[in-house]
Amino acid sequence: MEFLTSILASLQGTFFGMSSRLAVLFLAATVVLVLVLWVIRGRPGRFFDYLLPKEVYLHRSNLIDIQIFCVNLVLAVLGVLSAVVFTTLVAAATLTQLIELAGHRPSLPEVTWVRSAAATLIIVLTKDFCKYWAHWFHHESRILWPFHALHHSAEVLTPLTAQRNHPVFLLIRSVIYSLLLGLATGLMLFLLIGEIDLLTIGGANAGYFLFNLFGANLRHSHVWLSYGPVIEHIFISPAQHQIHHSIEKRHFNKNYGEVFAIWDWMFGTLYVPKGYEDLTFGLADAKGRPVEQPHTNLVNALVLPFAESLSEVTGIKFQKRGTSQPSKSASGVDK
């Protein structure tokens, strides 16, 4: 009974908590945004069909998304996915070391709205920087790629595809977040505000609240939304992330950022579309040719990445139905 209660509480947090992209408020905002786009684009067909096309939402790929979401929900309730989150510990250790190095704790002015806004921006930038490199690392590592390939094997994109992540990927990402975000938080405490007082909306970081409100769910969707070439050098548009999922060779290893495009621009992985592009999603070989879906059911989705990763470590090849989307390994050799 206690476990069931925890599941229900977690579902409530997912669909009603302001920190979740799948919150009802953000889903409703997505519907409004799609309605505006539908009108601007000349009302092609019925709105309901434009919003929720059967070929997308009844696709077997979306059914796997739902199953993976449920598995990760259970693991989160059991505490498995939070076992490696230690941001607070890293922040405290960083702050202690900085105080020892300085010989004293600096006197800090009163926490103001400006300082809180600066702290909020620093947290958003730092977390986005962490996400960029965690994402890049999973593409570049032959050992880690199979766990992220599950996300890229989605043949259709829906808001739930954002949750199509292997538990191992989530754990490794949490470690990277905890380390880098903890270091930044400790430094911010020492130099900037003296206490964490972020700008929040409904208990959520204000920056991510706005990000989720204005179209984050379209990143994993069939609806194309580009911000134009100027803005897309600063912020990642839904269209740019859809391009990241494309099987076209020219799109491989592009647009790793989540909120900001500045990291991709800075490190040479930015792809800015010149106009609408008709995209095919899923996995492909080194020439951009689609391969057979390897994650045809939940068991394959969870177990196959272990076999593929172990194959990279041991050199022993396992029988498998498909291959991963090619990316460059750490040595720069195409897979």
pLDDT tens digits for 197-222? Answer: 667 665 678 888 999 999 999 999 99
pLDDT bin (cut points 50, 70, 90) of residue 34 is very high
Confirm whether 334 is domain-assigned: no
Q: Is residue 110 part of a domain?
A: yes
Predicted pLDDT at 196: 57
Give the total number of structural domains in the chain: 1
Residue 331 within any structural domain of the chain: no
Domain-located, residue 104: yes
Structural domain contains residue 40: yes
Question: Please, which pLDDT band fits residue 117 given cuts at 50, 70 and 90?
Answer: confident
Q: Would you say the C-alpha torsion 38, 62, 71, 1 has a positive or negative sign?
A: positive
Q: Is the dihedral of CA 107, 110, 116, 121 positive or negative?
A: negative
**Average pLDDT of the chain?**
88
Is residue 253 in some structural domain? yes
pLDDT at position 159 is 97
pTM above 0.85, yes or no: yes
Which residue segment(s) compose the domain that 156 sits in?
Answer: 2-314
